[in-house]
Amino acid sequence: MLQPPPAEPGMREEEVDTPALILDLDAFEANLDHMAGLAAAAGVKLRPHAKTHKSLVIAHRQLARGAVGQCTQKVAEAEILAWGGVLDILVSNEVVGPRKLARLAALTRIAQVAVCADHPDGVAAIETAAEAAGTRLTVLVEIDVGTGRCGVAPGEEAVALARRIAASRHLAFGGLQAYHGRAQHKRSPEERAAAIAEAAQAAERTVEDLRRAGLDCPIIGGAGTGTFALEAASGVFTELQVGSYAFMDADYARNDPPPPFRQALSVLATVMSVPRDGAAVVDAGHKALPTDSGMPLVSGRDGIRYEGPSDEHGRLVIEPGADRPRLGEMLRLVPGHCDPTIDRYDWYVGVRSGRVECLWPIAARGAMA
Ligand code: PLP
Ligand code: MN
């Protein structure tokens, strides 16, 4: 159940209840436009990742700008999108468990749905679910192109699994999932280029092996916000699965150079205590902001550092010479990592020129299954 929103349209930003997730609409729209333009210019399809935004409104804005569909990581995210009219969904992930697979198979009645696999037993379970539902599921083979997470080895192993999929009456072979997560936050352009060159080679080799086996790859998917230009230029990938580009975060901003997008997301917090010289406390701690990718940054306030969270508090250090925040003052915090930040909120508070313009429910928030 969604909590009531922390604001109403027309309010000034200072009137928003905190902590609140603020979306700077000018920056957000510029980011969507920019990525849509880059993908179109490169001749690759855009299938943005809904695990980042978790929002039907945002999915539809991306589709309106030419995206071919959406990626999800979870069945529950796919359900929320499909129920809300997103008609082409790739679960860019392995789905294991009969109940989850039955739900996924049921979705094929209202949307085009594909899922990934990296094991023959996984394929057999997807097949059983599709057969039971009297439907056909599209399955992509995930190959490990360097991340060391899920995925079979490129080449022979991938071909064997693709053959297994293609041989089933209840399944269709959808292509390759080749996402290189570890490459996204490699800081230097040389490291990122080397990682994606290897990933693209591995994918290309596998596509050729598949072709020799008589199997076409309708989708060769991968790419994130740190490397998408490389996958787009590789001539191998057909779809970009970028997620964070719509929002940006402090961790991506540390890439050299940072991805070409504006910081559109922040957490609005209130200074709830100024207990000592050089110290202040905001009402945004662990429950408001993740710190897996570093501390949030305090936007537009040089010399104020977010030192650390506890459950409901964020400790700020005010460096000598910096302006001390007042009790009750509001600060915008730039999250270290956008995805888990968004997942902590029920609403985007869309702001333009200092006014609340819209409230968008984060409908797939907390979709664990
Ligand atoms: N594709 C897959 C399979 C992912 O796991 C992720 C994120 O981790 C992405 C795409 C999107 O990456 P980003 O949010 O960095 O653009
Ligand atoms: Mn992420």
Q: What pLDDT shows up at residue 354?
A: 98
> Which of 45, 140, 142, 184, when mutated, tests ligand 1's pocket best, judged by the most ligand atoms within 8 Å of its CB?
184
Tokens of 83: 């129920």
Lining residues, ligand 1, CB within 6 Å: 49, 52, 71, 92, 179, 181, 184, 224-225, 241-245
Residue 3 falls within a domain, yes or no? no
**Distance from the CA of 42 to the center of ligand 1, in angstroms?**
19
* CATH number for the domain that contains residue 50: 3.20.20.10
Is residue 89 pLDDT above 90, yes or no?
Answer: yes
Ligand 1: centre distance to CA 52 (Å): 8
35 and 126, same domain (yes or no): yes
* Total number of residues shown for the chain: 369
Task: Tell me the DSSP string of 309-336.
Answer: E-SS-EEEEE-TTSPPPPTT-EEEEE-S
Tell me, yes or no, if the pTM score tops 0.90: yes
Residues 100 and 233 in one domain: yes
Q: Which listed ligand is nearest to 53 at the C-alpha? A: 1
User: Dihedral sign, CA of 39, 43, 44, 46?
Assistant: positive
143 neighbors 175 (Cβ within 8 angstroms): no
pLDDT digits (tens, 9 = 90+) for 38-56: 999 999 999 999 999 999 9
Residues 9-42 have pLDDT tens digits of 999 999 999 999 999 999 999 999 999 999 999 9
Same domain? 227 vs 339: no
Residue 254 counted as domain residue: no
Mutation choice for ligand 1 from 38, 179, 220, CB with most ligand atoms inside 8 A:
179
Residue 57 forms part of a structural domain: yes
Are 229 and 270 contained in the same domain?
Answer: no
- For residue 243, the CA-to-ligand 2 centroid distance in Å is 8
Q: Which residues pair with 172 in a beta bridge?
A: 138
Q: How far is CA 93 from the centre of its chain?
A: 13
Q: Report d(CA 366, CA 77) in Å as an integer.
A: 9
Residue 149 domain-assigned (yes or no): yes
* ipTM of the complex as predicted: 0.99
Tokens of 229: 């230009």
367 pLDDT exceeds 90? no
pLDDT at 214: 98
The pLDDT tens digits for 208-223 are 999 999 999 999 999 9
Give the pLDDT band of residue 57 (cuts 50, 70, 90).
very high
Q: For position 357, what pLDDT does the model report? A: 98
Would you say residue 177 has pLDDT above 90?
yes
Q: Give me the pLDDT at residue 368, please.
A: 85
Q: Which of 51, 73, 142, 227 to mutate to test the pocket of ligand 1 (most atoms within 8 A of CB)?
A: 51
Residue 2 has a pLDDT of 83
Provide the residue range defining the domain that includes 306: 11-22+260-361
Shared-domain flag, residues 49 and 94: yes
- Position 363, amino acid: A
Relative to beta strand 304-309, strand 314-318 is antiparallel
Percent of the chain's residues with pLDDT above 90: 99
In the chain, how many domains are there?
A: 2
Domain harbouring 348, CATH code: 2.40.37.20
> Is 369 part of a structural domain of the chain?
no
Q: What is the mean pLDDT of residues 165-179?
A: 98
Q: Are 174 and 130 in contact (CB under 8 A)?
A: no
Distance 327 CA to ligand 2 centre (A): 33
Q: Among the atoms of ligand 1, which is closest to the Cα of residue 242?
A: 16
pLDDT higher than threshold 90 for residue 326: yes
Both 154 and 83 in one domain: the answer is yes
Asked if 223 contacts 240 with a C-beta cutoff of 8 angstroms, the reply is yes
Ion ligand 2 neighbours, Cβ < 5 Å: 339
Place of tokens 């902001």: 289
Q: Check residue 20 and give its pLDDT.
A: 98
Question: In this structure, which residue's CA is closest to atom 5 in ligand 1?
Answer: 181
Q: Which protein residue has the closest C-alpha to ligand 1 atom 6?
A: 224
Average pLDDT, rounded, for the chain: 98
Q: Does position 1 have pLDDT exceeding 80, yes or no? A: no
* Three-state secondary-structure class, residue 74: coil
The whole-number pLDDT of residue 364 equals 97
